[in-house]
């Protein structure tokens, strides 16, 4: 027999096929048994497998789906579009909204793409699933299709939704809580804490949980709280504890409610502590107690009484407090027993009005307010004020209750106030004085009629503008300063200013003013002192005139004394000389003697005549103070004087200079100015120095006040001012040996200048010269 050789490769292939078949059947069994919906497709998206879980999940069977449809049929189009847009943005390429959008991640990244979707079942209902898409590859790692594995997450969604809802409810509950809630075990260890704001907890939550109160604040502080905890655990009943605590520096009151926590009716040995802030309630309680105490004190001490009475003709009393005796003079027992009825005390003029007011209030079910008079037990009529209201049972009036107080003092004060007010009004309206109220903004707010009567403006016109606009321009600054002083709270007295009348004239007012700084009101009163000011001004003018006349008289007396002295001095010698000459003549004198004496008398008479002429010239100057003045140019006057003295100036080789630029003209009598220039220049020529040529300089200028000043300076002999300064301008005063010196020129010059209100002074130094200064 021929032996057939054994082919081991065929045996291996058969084993591999058997193993592969077994693996395939195992795979099919697993896919069929799993609760996950597994769908596979080829590369083009056509379904190639559809397991039983997929049939149950989607309502389709495998025969109608395999080779006919794509998984897109199970998806919502809006979700597909959103997925395509997200992938396009993520990958930077355009992804079409179709099968590509489901498998792009699995194809590009070679990883399973897991995402939640809403599957659309055959009956149109939606089912939330978690879908995992991965690529199917052969032994050479070539992509041959895709697997879609979906898990139903509807129950998870429901549970998650309930959790979210519970969390939301818990957050809402905690945020709406005014209380703080703690959970502690039976030893008092804090297990949890809830508050809408953790800042409300007595410590940060992390410091509280796992600790006992005694560990946080000590045994002494924790003892009352631990006692309540033990009582709640032992009895199962809730208990409250009120306590005080300092929160943010403020003392607050709290109520802690301890309650046993039960689960399905069984004690858990855990306790909830609800902390509620009761500060407002406690404050209200304290305030109520304080109010009750104040009410009792008020009821016992007020000058009035509380009553409860019937609504009958006599208002029969049911209740009265002791204050009724102070008000009426009768005890409350007198009223309660019927011995005295309140109605009988009414003033006859008030009784009907009281009755009508109470009846109307009862009819309309409103309160009433009355002011009336009653007769006190002393016989005095006193004023009462009453507040009352009816007490009803449905529509039926039961009683009247109210409060009556004695306002006699107030009524008398009101009457006195009215009287004073009327008096003030009459004074304010009829007085001749000016009364005013003004605000701090500078406006009058109220004026009495005297303003309109005296100034001519209407009250409205005076109120319409700031009061300073009516004040004289020269007085405005002082008035503003006075108003500022008032605003600082100071009083202003004896302040004078002028107010304009409507016709443009002004009247002088003398003010006294004060201010209310809090109300920002100025109170002022003023007297019209225009007549007084006119009298004062007239008196001042008269005084000034009198002083001026006195000064003139004094000057005239001085001049008269001087003139008399001059006359006495100048005439004494000629008269004495005449008498002496005449004494030489007698009955034995010869004709020659008479001729000699007469020749000498002739010379004496000539000198006497010249002296009299000089004195008369002086008198003429003093009388001509009102001589006509004209505008003169200094240069023109100097030129004329130089011409008149030209021979003398040439003879002595004098140089005359001038500078009239600063003040070229002068309003002055021409004769006087020529005389002044003539005397000063001729004086310089007379008293020139022999060893140097004469130099004379004329110059004009303006002083600080605007007056014209003329200086005439020479380089002549000069004068010893210490020796002769006070006699320089005296008549017939000479200080040098000169044949033509008579001592009249400077005297006349000084007289002319002073007659017209001017002044002349001199500065001089021996052998250096003299400067005359004329202040016109």
Where are the domains positioned within the chain?
15-159, 178-284, 303-412, 450-528, 530-623, 625-775
Question: 683-711, pLDDT tens digit by residue?
Answer: 888 888 888 999 999 999 999 888 999 99
Pairing of strands 143-152, 126-137: antiparallel
Q: What percentage of the chain exceeds 70 in pLDDT?
A: 78
φ, ψ at 550 (rounded to 5°): -60, -45
Average pLDDT over residues 373-379: 93
pLDDT of residue 313: 86
* pLDDT value of position 736: 47
pLDDT band of 733, cuts 50, 70, 90? very low
Question: Among the listed ranges 480-484, 550-554, 643-647, which one has the minimum average pLDDT value?
Answer: 550-554
Structural fold of domain 625-775: Heat Shock Protein 90 (3.30.565)
Long-range contacts for 175-180 (Cβ within 8 Å, ≥24 apart)?
A: 178/276, 178/277, 179/274, 179/275, 179/276, 180/274, 180/275
Cα–Cα nearest to 750, from 719, 770, 772, 723: 772
pLDDT at site 333: 92
Q: What angle do CA 262, 267, 271 make, to 5 degrees?
A: 70
Task: Report CA dihedral (679, 680, 685, 691) to the nearest 10 degrees.
Answer: 160
110-128 per-position pLDDT tens digit = 778 888 999 999 999 999 9
Query: What is the predicted pLDDT for the residue at 727?
Result: 61
Looking at mean pLDDT, say which of 6-10, 64-68, 440-444, 610-614 comes out highest: 440-444
* Residue 245 vs residue 723, higher pLDDT: 245
Give the H/E segment covering residue 596.
helix 591-623
Q: What is the C-alpha to C-alpha distance for residues 37 and 134, in angstroms, rounded to an integer? A: 14
Contact indicator for 533, 541 with CB cutoff of 8 Å: no
> Mean pLDDT lowest for which of 178-182, 530-534, 559-563?
559-563
Within 365-457, where are the H helices?
408-430, 450-455
Average the pLDDT over each of 338-342, 412-416, 498-502, 554-558 and give the range with the smallest value: 554-558
* Domains 178-284 and 450-528 equal at CATH topology level: yes
* 387: pLDDT strictly greater than 90: yes
Over range 200-221, report the average pLDDT: 86
Q: How confident is the model over 49-96, as pLDDT tens digits? A: 898 888 989 999 989 999 888 999 899 889 999 988 988 988 888 888
At 168 the pLDDT is: 58
pLDDT-derived band at 291, boundaries 50, 70, 90: low
The answer to whether residue 594 scores a pLDDT higher than 90 is no
15 pLDDT exceeds 60? no
Alpha carbons 538 and 146: distance in angstroms, whole number: 130
Per-residue model confidence (pLDDT) at position 481: 92
Residue 38 has pLDDT above 80, yes or no: yes
- For residue 569, name the pLDDT band (cuts at 50, 70, 90): very low
Compute the distance between CA of residue 18 and CA of residue 25 in angstroms, rounded to an integer: 11
Distance CA 39, CA 103 (A): 13
Average pLDDT over residues 364-392: 93
pLDDT tens figures, 751-770: 878 878 889 898 988 889 99
Both tokens of residue 686?
A: 């007379």
> Is a pLDDT exceeding 80 seen at residue 726?
no
Average pLDDT over residues 651-678: 89
* Rounded mean pLDDT, 181-198: 86
Give the mean model confidence (pLDDT) for residues 430-454: 88
pLDDT at 602: 72
Least confident stretch, 77-86, 279-288, 326-335, 357-366: 279-288
Percent above pLDDT 90 for the chain: 29
Q: Which span out of 97-101, 234-238, 355-359, 419-423 was modeled with the highest average pLDDT? A: 355-359
With cut-offs at 50, 70 and 90, classify the pLDDT of residue 200: confident
320 vs 8 pLDDT, higher one: 320
The pTM is what? 0.29
Q: Is the pLDDT of residue 20 over 80?
A: no
User: pLDDT per residue over 610-651, tens digit each?
Assistant: 556 555 555 555 555 456 788 999 999 999 888 777 777 888
Q: Is the pLDDT of residue 743 over 50?
A: no
Q: Quote the pLDDT of residue 724.
A: 66
**pLDDT for residue 679 is more than 60:** yes
Q: Which CATH architecture has domain 530-623?
A: Orthogonal Bundle (1.10)
Q: What is the pLDDT of residue 617?
A: 53
CATH of 303-412, one of 3.30.450.20, 1.10.274.100, 3.30.365.10, 3.20.20.80: 3.30.450.20
More confident: 456 or 551: 456
User: For residues 628 and 245, what is the distance between their CA atoms, to the nearest angstrom?
Assistant: 107
Between residues 88 and 739, the one the model is more confident about = 88
- Written in H, E and C, the secondary structure of 220-232 is HHHHHHHHHHHHH
Mean pLDDT of the chain, nearest integer: 81
First-residue to last-residue Cα distance in the chain:
184
Per-residue confidence at 294, pLDDT binned at 50, 70, 90?
low
Rounded Cα distance, 616 and 608, in Å: 12
Percentage helix, strand, coil for the chain under 3-state DSSP, each rounded to 5: 45, 25, 25
Q: Which range, 284-298, 458-472, 752-766, is most confident?
A: 458-472
Q: Which residues contact 668 (CB under 8 A, 6 or more apart)?
A: 629, 630, 632, 756, 776
Give residue 297's pLDDT band: very low, low, confident or very high (50, 70, 90): low
CATH code of 178-284, in short, is 3.30.450.20
Residue 379 clears pLDDT 80, i.e. is over it = yes
* Mean pLDDT computed over 311-315: 88
Fold adopted by 15-159: Beta-Lactamase (3.30.450)
CA angle 526, 528, 533 (to 5 degrees): 125
The CATH architecture one would assign to domain 450-528 is: 2-Layer Sandwich (3.30)
pLDDT score, position 378:
93
């Amino acid at each position: 027999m021929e032996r057939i050789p054994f082919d081991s490769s065929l045996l291996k292939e058969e084993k591999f096929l058997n193993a592969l078949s077994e693996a395939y059947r195992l795979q099919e069994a697993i896919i069929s048994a799993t609760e996950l919906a597994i769908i596979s497709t080829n590369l083009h998206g056509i379904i190639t497998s559809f397991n039983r879980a997929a049939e149950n999940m989607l309502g389709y069977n495998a025969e109608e789906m395999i080779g006919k449809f794509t998984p897109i049929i199970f998806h919502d189009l809006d979700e597909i579009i959103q997925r395509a847009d997200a992938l396009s943005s993520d990958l930077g390429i355009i992804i079409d909204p179709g099968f590509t959008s489901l498998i792009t991640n699995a194809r590009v990244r070679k990883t399973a793409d897991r995402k939640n979707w809403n599957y659309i079942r055959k009956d149109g209902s939606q089912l939330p699933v978690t879908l995992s898409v991965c690529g199917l590859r052969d032994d050479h790692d070539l992509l041959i299709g895709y697997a879609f594995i979906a898990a139903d997450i509807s129950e998870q969604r429901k549970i998650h939704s309930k959790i979210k809802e519970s969390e939301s409810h818990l957050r809402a509950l905690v945020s709406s809580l005014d209380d703080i809630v703690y959970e502690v075990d039976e030893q008092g260890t804090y297990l949890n804490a809830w508050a809408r704001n953790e800042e409300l907890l007595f410590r940060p939550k992390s410091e509280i949980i796992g600790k006992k109160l005694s560990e946080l604040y000590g045994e002494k502080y924790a003892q009352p709280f631990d006692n309540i905890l033990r009582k709640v655990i032992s009895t199962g009943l809730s208990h409250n504890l009120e306590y005080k605590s300092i929160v943010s520096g403020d003392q607050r009151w709290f109520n802690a409610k301890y309650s046993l926590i039960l689960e399905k009716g069984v004690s858990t040995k855990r306790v909830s502590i609800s902390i509620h802030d009761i500060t407002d309630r406690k404050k209200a309680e304290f305030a109520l107690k304080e109010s009750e105490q104040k009410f009792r004190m008020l009821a016992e001490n007020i000058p009035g009484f509380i009553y409860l009475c019937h609504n009958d003709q006599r208002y029969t009393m049911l209740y009265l407090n002791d204050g009724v005796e102070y008000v009426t003079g009768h005890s409350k027992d007198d009223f309660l027993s019927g011995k005295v009825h309140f109605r009988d005390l009414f003033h006859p003029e008030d009784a009907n009005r009281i009755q009508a007011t109470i009846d109307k209030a009862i009819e309309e079910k409103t309160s009433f307010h009355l002011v009336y008079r009653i007769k006190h037990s002393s016989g005095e009529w006193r004023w009462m004020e009453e507040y009352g209201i009816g007490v009803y049972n449905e529509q039926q009036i039961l009683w009247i209750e109210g409060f009556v107080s004695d306002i006699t003092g107030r009524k008398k004060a009101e009457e006195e106030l009215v009287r004073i007010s009327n008096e003030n009004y009459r004074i304010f309206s009829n007085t001749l004085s000016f009364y005013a109220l003004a605000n701090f903004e500078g406006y009058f707010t109220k004026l009495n009629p005297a303003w309109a009567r005296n100034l001519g403006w209407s009250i409205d016109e005076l109120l319409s503008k700031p009061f300073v606009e009516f004040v004289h321009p020269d007085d405005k600054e002082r008035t503003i300063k006075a108003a500022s002083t008032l605003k600082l709270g100071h009083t202003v007295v004896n302040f004078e200013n002028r107010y304009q009348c409507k016709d443009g004239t002004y009247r002088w007012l003398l003010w006294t003013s004060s201010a209310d700084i809090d109300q920002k009101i100025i109170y002022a009163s003023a007297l019209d002192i225009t007549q007084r000011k006119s009298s004062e001004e007239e008196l001042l003018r008269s005084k000034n005139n009198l002083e001026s006349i006195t000064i003139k008289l004094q000057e005239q007396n001085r001049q008269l004394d001087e003139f008399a002295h001059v006359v006495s001095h100048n005439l004494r010698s000629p008269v004495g000389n005449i008498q002496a000459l005449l004494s030489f003549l007698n009955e034995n004198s010869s004709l020659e003697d008479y001729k000699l004496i007469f020749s000498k008398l002739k010379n004496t008479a000539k000198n006497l005549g010249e002296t009299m002429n000089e004195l008369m010239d002086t008198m003429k100057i003093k009388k001509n103070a009102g001589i006509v003045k004209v505008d003169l140019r200094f240069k023109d006057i100097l030129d004329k004087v130089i011409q008149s003295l030209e021979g003398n100036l040439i003879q002595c080789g004098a140089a005359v200079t001038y500078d009239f630029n600063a003040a070229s003209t002068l309003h002055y009598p021409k004769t006087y100015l020529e005389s002044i220039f003539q005397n000063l220049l001729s004086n310089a020529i007379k008293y020139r120095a022999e060893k140097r040529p004469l130099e004379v300089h004329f110059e004009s200028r303006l002083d600080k006040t605007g007056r014209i000043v003329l200086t005439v300076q020479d380089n002549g002999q000069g004068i010893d001012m210490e020796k002769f300064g006070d006699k320089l301008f005296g008549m017939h005063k000479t200080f040098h040996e000169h044949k033509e010196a008579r001592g009249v020129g400077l005297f006349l010059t000084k007289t002319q200048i002073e007659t017209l209100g001017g002044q002349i002074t001199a500065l001089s130094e021996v052998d250096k010269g003299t400067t005359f200064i004329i202040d016109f």
